Amino acid sequence: MDKRIINHLIDLYGKEAGTAAAKKIESILEPLKKKNAKQTKTFLTESSAWLITYGDMVTGEGYTKLQALYEFLRDKLPGIVDSVHILPFYPYSSDDGFSVIDYKEVDPKLGTWDGIRRFADHFNLTADAVFNHISSQSEWFQECLKGNPEYRDFFIRVPKDADTSSVTRPRSLPLLTAYSSPDGGEDDYYWTTFSDDQIDLNFACPDLLVRLIEILFFYVEEGITTIRLDAVAFFWKELGTSCMHLRQTHKIVKICRLLLDEYARHVLLLTETNVPHAENISYFGKGNEANMVYQFPLPPLTAHAVMAECSIWLNQWAESLEDPEGSNTYFNFLASHDGIGLRPAMDILPDQELNYMLQTACNNGGLISYRDMPDGSQSPYELNISYFNLFWDGTEETYTTALRKFILAHSILMCMPGVPAVYFHSMFGSVNYTEGVEKTGRNRTINREKLNLKQLQSEVRDRNSRRYIIYAAMAQMLRIRATEPAFHPKSGFEILNLSPDVFIIKRNTGKGETPLTAIHNLSSGPQALELEGDFVDIITGTNYYDEVELPPHEFLWLKG
């Protein structure tokens, strides 16, 4: 075992406990070393692209949910997307999968491990390691409540009157939840960051970390090629601190990265941290933590730029981006199963601009979720809306413009340094699922509709439908993107800040390849730009000489 792993474990748990943990981990993983020895290191390229989906996003008579999803994606994704992220597919008790009852089982409502492996045979497959917390209904927590000493230290008990005022809260819910004591005495209070059903795990317990690492490599054995560490910022708790991004948390990420590099070098590590940019990119470490981090400022800043028809703040942020060390890169997205996180934009967008975006989205049927602040106030945490409805108020008069704006926003996504990830409902043109919110009472349901396989197939084939128009545009961009070296994740980039009406990014491999300049007209009017030389738009094949005029809300990918 790499000595750095042992040293990190000793730093976390002391010499005796850290060394013991290292021996346990080595005994679990050593058999994998020979098995994975022929696996080559995964390197991302311009053809790397993700689709993000729930396992039950598509349902069809005669199919398990995983089978229905597979049948649809097998038909629609080849040559377009090479990687699929199936959101938590384990048995769960709440939070649409993120309150896991058993990490090693597939939810029988979805299918079996055979269904997961079928995806792994045809796509690079991403799975979630939901390790910050576990369901209150899990065997681990139930055994803890029974007083089983094996599980007692897997969870964090805190005195009822403990001062938790400095702890950062991602939700407007109590931090501590009471559960009955096994000896019949006073209730124990357990740390519950996200809900009373999601009991935080205690990473200060070395036996817990050993158990979680064993589970992580179980996923690798089932064909998973990217591990997503969910809510990683909260892993380590220490009263008197914010309990976010603590030194010990970064140690755990480093351990995971080193273990994957040694025992499963083909597997990538992705961290999910919905926080301001500087905090988010800290999970690259010095090239020794995550292979990829979610680019959380991109969704709200792109939304604002297209909605407000102004590139000032998107430019300001994009100009500050730096190329991560080594082969590490950004995981770019606009929409996901969650809402559009607002925290990453709050230190960039002025209050007036943020409020404009929120008000416009609410006018289009969106909702706002809040979090508790240390002073007792509440702050907007995320915007819950389909990404298409950011630009569409539901009327016929604005429909065509909304289509152009939506596709324009995704061109920005495709052109940013890193790899693109498209959410299922964005790829296939879904709108607000407001009746779902009414059924569940949860804001996030607005972008989590489950679709009928036959109806979806019919709509995506109908050339006049919204689903077809959006899917066709996405597919065209992704196919072209996959052929262009300028879109390699490590290709250089430059933001050309010429006008607030446009967003222009230039990509260049620096290897003698012709640079590519992507020009996005954010405004409602035509934009004329002078060029030096001859160019061709690789989307349409149109040639341009010395100048170009873009119609409203259109874009060009120019080479020349």
Range from 131-140, 216-225, 426-435, 503-512 carrying the lowest mean pLDDT: 503-512
When pLDDT is cut at 50, 70 and 90, the band that residue 361 belongs to is very high
Residue 37's pLDDT is what?
74
- Give the integer Cα–Cα distance in Å for 12 and 397: 60
For residue 35, pLDDT beyond 90 = no
Report percent pLDDT > 70 for the chain.
Answer: 100
Confidence band for 372, pLDDT divided at 50, 70 and 90? confident
Where is 124: in which H helix or E strand?
strand 124-129
Partners of 101 in the beta sheet?
Answer: none
Q: Give me the mean pLDDT over the 409-415 stretch.
A: 98
| Residue 185 confidence (pLDDT) | 75
| Residue 228 confidence class, pLDDT cut points 50, 70, 90 | very high
Mean of the pLDDT values across residues 369-389? 91
Percent of the chain with pLDDT over 90: 91
Report pLDDT digits (tens) over 17-27.
999 999 999 99
Non-local (6+) Cβ contacts of 254 within 8 A are 4, 8, 285, 288, 289
pLDDT at 505 over 90: yes
Q: What is the spatial distance between Cα 132 and Cα 138, in angstroms, rounded to a whole number?
A: 14
Average pLDDT over residues 332-343: 96
Please write the tens of the pLDDT for every residue from 254-272.
Answer: 999 999 999 999 999 999 9
309 sits in the region (left: phi over 0; alpha: psi -120 to 50; else beta) called left
Q: Tell me, what's the pLDDT at 456?
A: 98
Whether the pLDDT of residue 38 is over 80: the answer is no
Average pLDDT, the chain: 96
Residue 387 has pLDDT above 90, yes or no: yes
Residues acting as catalytic residues: 230
Residue 195 DSSP one-character state: B
Q: What residues does 62 pair with on adjacent strands?
A: none
Taking the C-alpha atoms of residue 382 and residue 436, their distance in angstroms, rounded to an integer, is 18
Average pLDDT, stretch 39-49?
90
Q: Quick one: pLDDT at residue 186?
A: 80
Q: How far apart are CA 551 and CA 559, in angstroms?
A: 19
- Residue 159: pLDDT over 80: yes
Cβ-in-10-Å burial (0-12, 13-18, 19+) of 493 comes to buried
For residues 394-419, average pLDDT:
98
41 pLDDT more than 80:
no
Interval 433-461: pLDDT, tens: 999 999 999 999 999 999 999 999 999 99
